[in-house]
Amino acid sequence: MGCTFAKNAKDGSNQDLNHAGAEAPAAPPPQDPRIPLTARQKFSISKSWKAIARAMDTTGVSMFVKLFEENKELLLLFENFKHLESREDQESSEELKEHAEKVLGAVDEAIDSLEHVDTCIDFLRGVGKRHTKIPGFKSEYFWRMEAPFLAAVKETLDDRYTENMESIYKTTIHFIIQTLVDGFEDKPKQKAA
């Protein structure tokens, strides 16, 4: 690429040196503000998530055990495992494991599609909307998963859960849950800027 800035500066024809923007290093592509992560943060979480994807069963079960520990009443919404009252029974339940994998599978799909903003948002809104079919489910329940999700991710990542990754996971799960809620409540979808 020719350097017009240098050429212009040399021959004195460029009066406005502060506006040599055209010569700035290749600008990153514009980010869609509906996803609250920078390109670098998206890269970091996609990389970090690989470790969770390899341990989806243990991370998912741990997340649900924590959810039920803090929110006993939510267990009753699950026809397949509402009888699993003790932590030990929950930890060894095949049904709970399968469900936990489905839920983290949805998070996996969302993280995988962060570059395809409409696909990502439509997918999450669809999952949120399907929860309207669950008798007794309220949209606020989605937020109950936030802390158990972060705690289970922290447990699996251990020393790879740095302060930087914690902040990225917090932003990501917040975005995911808000989008599930929007789908559940059928809020109008924000258009691309």
Stretch that binds ligand HEM, among 22-30, 51-59, 112-120, 123-131 (CB under 6 A): 123-131
Among 39, 40, 134, 167, binds ligand HEM (CB under 6 A): 134
- Alpha-carbon distance of 54 to 108, in angstroms, equals 11
* 56-70 and 39-53 helices, crossing angle to 10°: 100
Among 49, 64, 123, 141, binds ligand HEM (CB under 6 A): 141
Which is nearer to ligand HEM, 20 or 37 (by Cβ)?
Answer: 37
Among 145, 152, 157, 165, binds ligand HEM (CB under 6 A): 145
Closest CB 103 distance from ligand HEM, rounded Å: 4
- Alpha-carbon distance of 65 to 7, in angstroms, equals 65
- 63 contacts 100 by C-beta, under 8 angstroms: yes
* 106 belongs to the binding site for ligand HEM (CB under 6 A): yes
* 9 belongs to the binding site for ligand HEM (CB under 6 A): no
Among 114, 127, 150, 165, binds ligand HEM (CB under 6 A): 127
DSSP 17: G
CA neighbours closer than 13 Å in the CB half-sphere of residue 136: 7
- Alpha-carbon distance of 104 to 59, in angstroms, equals 8
Nearest to 190 by CA among 107, 112, 117: 117
Residues that bind ligand HEM (CB under 6 A): 74, 77-80, 99, 102-103, 106-107, 127, 130-131, 134, 137, 141-142, 144-145, 176-177, 180
